[in-house]
Every structure is written in structure tokens, then in C-alpha cells.
Structure 1
Amino acid sequence: MDSLSQLALGAAVGVAVMGRRTAVWKAALWGGIAGTLPDLDALIDHGDAVRNMTLHRAASHSLFWLTLGAPLLAALASRLHGERQHFRRWWLAMWLALVTHPLLDTMTVYGTQLLQPFSDHPFGVGSIFIIDPLYTLPLLAGVVAALAWRGDAAGLNWNRWGLFLSTAYLAWTALAQWHVRGIAEQTLAARGTPARQLLVTPTAFNTVLWRVVAMREDGFEEGYYSLLDPERTIRFQRHDRQPALKAALDDLWAVQRIAWFSHGFYKMQEQGGSALIVDLRMGQEPSYIFTFEVARRGDDGRWVPVTPENIGSRGDLPRGLAWLWQRLRGQDVPPPR
């Protein structure tokens, strides 16, 4: 999730756990710090764009390593504020603020390596967009109320309600995703073309309009479904993924890495003499956030590997948002190309 959501979640958890044992601002401050710390790995340059992408949300998001780090952070907070008698409570607060960060990230589609160092599997439920105001606003309101009431019961109750509502919203996203997946499977089954793999994720900033990607051996289909659509069916559009190009470059580490990290939701394409690999999970056709150049054609026509560079795009944002608002309300309009 975005940094503001993680900060608000960490602060809310800190306030809820510490209660009246310390000043609300201290609990919110340290909870916010703990909730933000795991994302500092984004500042590390691992040498190329593919490594930077696939090593984000790795060791710094490991439940194991964060659990080991929690008592150190708790010791720092309790000693700085002269509250050693509350060390165990600070420990619990810091642990929960730390581990809820990767658990929340896991609800997005990106991929979070929760089980490092025992497994590097990138977990991603994909039921919530990386920025969703309906998740973040209850947390912010609860923390602000707790700070405004300076630890009074009313403010602490607001904070608890913020945590409850945001968590309930996460449950709603999973339920909505399951519902849309069922409709997608029914649509494809009725056509007699079940997908090899199926991806169901919300579009930007909401959980009303969903994007569905059905993978095929030689291509993929993309469709959209709004919970406000009058009919329980999805209209798909087919796109190529150039399997021959994948076969030609299959021995490149960057290609193998993105194929693994995306759980198979990727495509290859040739553009202007460059070979690109595209993560299909984040964006929509033809604009994707993560599009990596991995090779270029030499003078002899052969592919020459290059240091991977991300040339991804978010497309025409104003036009895209205008389409999203129309399609979200159930209007059957084609996506911008």
C-alpha cells in the first residue's frame, strides 16, 4: 500500500495497543515509524530495474526479520521516554505495527515475500489497489480523533473504530474479488474457453470496477466488470503476448525473474528494435507501470542483452480517470487505447 496508509495503520495500531499507558502522540509517532520502516528498502539500488522491483518487499517485509527487530525498536522507544516499565507493551505495539505492514501489502497484487528467509514466494491477494481512500480515511480519522482528545476514552474509541472499519473494508475487497472471479469463470465457461490462469484486481482507487485478465498459451484476454453493471457477464478483448519472442529470450535472467515474480501474468513484445517484458498485473492495455527493456537487436539481427530498464507508463491519466468514472457506473464504454 501507499506510504500514507502504512503510516496511518502503524499509528492506529500503536495507539490501540498502548492505550493510556503513554501519551497518544508517542504511541502514534512510534507506531507510524514502525509502520513506515519496511518500505525504506525502496531506497536501495540493487543494480538494475528488475532487481529493484523484485527485491522490494523482500527481506524488509519478512515476518521473521520484523519479529526479531520489534524488541529493539521497543527498547529504543521505552528508554527514550523513560517508560521501561511498559517495555513489554511497547514490544507488542512495535511488533504489531511492523508485521501489519507486510500483511497489508499482501492484499495488493504486487507481491510480498512474507516468508523470507525460508521462502522467496511473492504473496499477493490482489483485492485492493495500492491507493484506496476508503481504506485509509477511517484510519486517519481515528488517529486524528485520538490525538485531538489526548487519550480520552472517546478518542481511543474513534481509533478502534477506524481500525475496525478499515479491516472490515479489506474483508469486503476479498469478498468482491471472489464475486467477480465467479462471474469471469462463468463467462469463460459459457464460451467454452476456460482460462489457463485468471487474474482479478480492482482498478485504481476503488473496489467497484474490476479488471480481469485471462491468460492463454499464445496471448491473453482483458475485460472489465463493474458491480453496477446491469448484466452478469464480461466482454473480453484478446491481445498477443508473442511467445516466440519469449522462447528466443527465455535464458535471460530478467525474463525468468519477471515471469516468476508476476506468477505468469506477463507478455513479451518487440518495439523499435527492443525486446520488452511487461508485468500485466499493474496497468491496463496498452499502458503498464512495469515494462522492462531486456534486449536489443544487433546489426546481425540477433538479440543482445542489455541492463534492464523500466520504460513503463501510466498512460493518459486524465483520459483514463474519465473512462474509469464512466465504466465504474456501469456504462459499457471501451477503455482508452
Structure 2
Amino acid sequence: MDSLTQIALGSSVAALAVPAAHRRAALLAGAALGTLPDLDVLWFKLAGSDAVTEVTWHRGPSHSLLVLAALGWLLWRLAKKRSQLVRQAPRPWLWAIWLALLTHPLLDAFTVYGTQLLWPLPMPPVMWSSIFIIDPLYTLPLLAGVIAAWRLSPRATQAALHDDSRTIAARRWLLAGLLASSVYLGWSVAAKLWVDRAASQSLAAMGLQNAPRLSMPLPLNTMLWRVIAMTPDGYWIGDRSLLDGAAMTFTFHASDNRALAQLASEPKVQRLLWFTNGFVGAQPQQRDGQQRLILSDLRMGLEPDYFFRYDIAGMDAQGQWTPAPEITRVSGPHSRTIPLGWVWRRIFDSRAAAPLP
């Protein structure tokens, strides 16, 4: 999820874990800890990492529940030596630190990007894909609770003079924000199951009941969803609003899976296939006068303008695909994002035309 959401979530859970007199300090600490795992992107930039490493190792060790649990304990030990507040309430502060750190990757796992929750165990990234990476209806209740709690909570030096009713109100605001956002997250899972059911019925009618498929919400909502179904020669894409009445329809897009299979043993290509769980398309494309093979991550973006696209190979004089010396990210042919106006129209109208390339 976006940084603001993680800050609000980290602040909320940390502030609820500590005594009322420590609440403001916990709001600040939770905000810092809640966004800490995403700072791995700075390391990749400073280290000059290649495109595949940067994308597939983000949400890796820094988002592992095993790593963060150990890191949280170490931070707590350090804080006990330096902070009087932590020494006053050591166990609540340990829970505050753990909750602020561990809720970050757990929330990220509900998005489609993929989170390596149990790194270094050899398992693919977790992508429950029930919520978009930015969703105001999830974030705003948390943010309202944090702002209210900050205004209602005392500074540590003023705790003895503070009105108990304000302290109780601060806690209630935090609980209400966390409850509302959690209910919305649960709703997103229910909506996904509803869409999966509609997709299953349509794909079965097409003879694709066993095709690997993935459903995900389109930007900023949980009312409009996209479903991708993979086949040996390409992939089918369909959109589904929870307000649609008719059967779900899909559109086919070809993919050069034979060329991709020839390159699948290349370590970087193999890494991308693992990271995306195979939800990719491969299309030959002319670039700078050369025939190149472009790998698209189908989980994010519009056909054919996906956000993550990689130049993985070039065609030699004998017509064979040769792996690229270094895989690089390339921009889409139109460099566009999903138009929010179309998303809104499509929620209410199944006939709303998809955006043209």
C-alpha cells in the first residue's frame, strides 16, 4: 500500500498498544516503523541495482514477518536503554513496535504486487489481490482516527493533568478507524470472491475452467475488477463491476509463449516469472530498428500499456531469440495510466467502452 496508509496503520496499532500517557510518542514511533519496510527502495537506488533486482526484491527481506519480528525485538532492546517511556511500560512498547512493523507486510499482501511474507523460505510472493495499492476508503478512517487521537492525547509531561474523557475519546477514535478500515478490507475479500464466481462461470462456458487466473480491483475502488486467464497461446482479459447483471465477457490477447519458453531458463527471466506467478505476456516489438521481445507484467496497467515492461531478448540474424545482456524496463507504446473517469463510468455501465490505446 502507499506510504500514507502504512503510516496511518502503524500509528494506529502502536498507539492502541501503549498506555494513554505514551500515546503521542507511540503515534510518532508507529508512523516511522509503519513506513520503515518500504525504505528498501532507497537501498536499491543507492546500490545501483538492475531493474529485475529492484522490482523482485522489493517486498522481500524487508517485508518478511520473520525478519521484522527479529528486527522489532532488537529495536525494543535498544529503545529500552534509551527511552524512559519504554522502560516504564516495556511489554506494551514491544507489542507496539511489533504491530507497527508486522501489519505493514500483512496489508501489502492484500495487494497484487506480491509480498515475500516468509522470506527466506522458498515460496512465491503472496498476492491476495483484494485491494488496490491506493484506496481512500481504506486509508481515510485510519487517518481520521490518528488525527483525532493526536489532538485528544496529552503530552507525556501533561498526562497527570489530562481529562480522562479525552483519553477515552482518543482510544475510541483509534479503534473506530481501525475497525472501519478492517471491515472494508474484509469487504474487499468478499467482493473478490463474488467476482471470481462470475469469472468461473464464464470461463467454464469457454472451456477454460482450469486456466490459471487472477482477479484484482482496478484503481481506487473495490467495485470494478479485472480478471486475467492464461492459456498456452495468450491470455483472456475481462472486466467485472459488482453492479453488472449479464455474464462476464473476455477478450483474447496473443502472447509469444514459445519464445518465452526458450528464454525461461535465463536466471533473470526465471526470476520475473516466479515473481509474477506467470501472469505475463510476451510480444515481439520493433525498437530502434531491432526486433525485441518485450515481457509485460499483466497485473498492473492496461493492454498493451502495462506499467512493468521488460526488454528480455533480441532476434539475431538467424531469426533466433538471444537473451539481452541486461534486462531493462521499457515504457509502454502510449505511456498511459488507467483513466479514472472510465473506471467510474464502467462501474455503473457495462457498455462503457474500454479506453483505446
Question: TM-score range with shorter-chain normalisation?
Answer: over 0.9
Give the structure 1 partner of residue 113 of structure 2.
110
Shift of 1:194: 2.0
1:291 matched to 2:309? The reply is yes
Change over 3 Å in CA distance of 1:191–1:299 after alignment to 2: closer
Change over 3 Å in CA distance of 1:107–1:3 after alignment to 2: same
1:93 matched to 2:111? The reply is no
Calculate the TM-score normalised by the size of structure 2. 0.89
* Residue of 52, 58, 61 corresponding to 1:59: 61
Shift of 1:258: 1.4
Tell me the secondary structure at the aligned position of residue 310 of structure 2: strand
Shift of 1:25: 2.1
Give the structure 2 partner of residue 33 of structure 1.
32
CA contact (8 A) 1:13 1:96 kept: yes
Give the structure 2 partner of residue 49 of structure 1.
51
Q: How does 1:314-325 map to 2 (within 5 A)?
A: 315-317=335-337, 320-325=339-344
Shift of 1:122: 0.5
* Residue of 214, 218, 221 corresponding to 1:199: 214
Tell me the secondary structure at the aligned position of residue 267 of structure 1: strand
Cα distance between partner residues in 2 of 1:12 and 1:76: 22
Cα distance between partner residues in 2 of 1:326 and 1:32: 36
- Of 71-80 and 194-203, the range deviating more from structure 2: 71-80
Give the structure 2 partner of residue 330 of structure 1.
349
Query: Please, what is the CA RMSD of the aligned residues?
Result: 1.8
Give the structure 2 partner of residue 169 of structure 1.
184
Q: Deviations over 1:63-114 (max 9, x none)?
A: 1111111122224444444121212211110001111101001001111111
Change over 3 Å in CA distance of 1:78–1:163 after alignment to 2: farther
1:121 matched to 2:124? The reply is yes
Shift of 1:187: 1.2
CA contact (8 A) 2:145 2:175 kept: yes
Shift of 1:153: 1.0
Structure 2 unaligned runs (5+)? 155-166
Change over 3 Å in CA distance of 1:193–1:114 after alignment to 2: closer
| Alignment: residue pair count | 334
Tell me the secondary structure at the aligned position of residue 6 of structure 1: helix
Shift of 1:283: 1.4
* Residue of 224, 229, 243 corresponding to 2:257: 243
Tell me the secondary structure at the aligned position of residue 179 of structure 1: helix
* Residue of 78, 82, 85 corresponding to 2:84: 82
Shift of 1:303: 3.3
Tell me the secondary structure at the aligned position of residue 234 of structure 1: coil
Give the structure 2 partner of residue 212 of structure 1.
227
Change over 3 Å in CA distance of 1:191–1:298 after alignment to 2: closer
Output the amino acid matched with 2:4: L
Output the amino acid matched with 1:286: P
Output the amino acid matched with 1:39: D
CA contact (8 A) 1:127 1:173 kept: yes
Tell me the secondary structure at the aligned position of residue 44 of structure 1: helix
Tell me the secondary structure at the aligned position of residue 143 of structure 2: helix
CA contact (8 A) 2:19 2:92 kept: no
CA contact (8 A) 2:56 2:275 kept: yes
Q: Deviations over 1:121-158 (max 9, x none)?
A: 21110000000001100100000010111252112101
CA contact (8 A) 1:195 1:214 kept: no
Shift of 1:171: 0.7
CA contact (8 A) 2:124 2:277 kept: no
Q: How does 1:122-271 map to 2 (within 5 A)?
A: 122-150=125-153, 152-231=167-246, 233-271=247-285
- Of 130-139 and 303-312, the range deviating more from structure 2: 303-312
CA contact (8 A) 1:275 1:295 kept: yes
Output the amino acid matched with 2:269: V
Calculate the TM-score normalised by the size of structure 1. 0.94
Tell me the secondary structure at the aligned position of residue 115 of structure 1: coil
Sequence identity of aligned pairs in percent?
A: 43
Output the amino acid matched with 1:48: D
Q: Deviations over 1:185-236 (max 9, x none)?
A: 01122333324111110000100000011111111100101012232x1111
Cα distance between partner residues in 2 of 1:184 and 1:315: 29
Shift of 1:120: 4.1
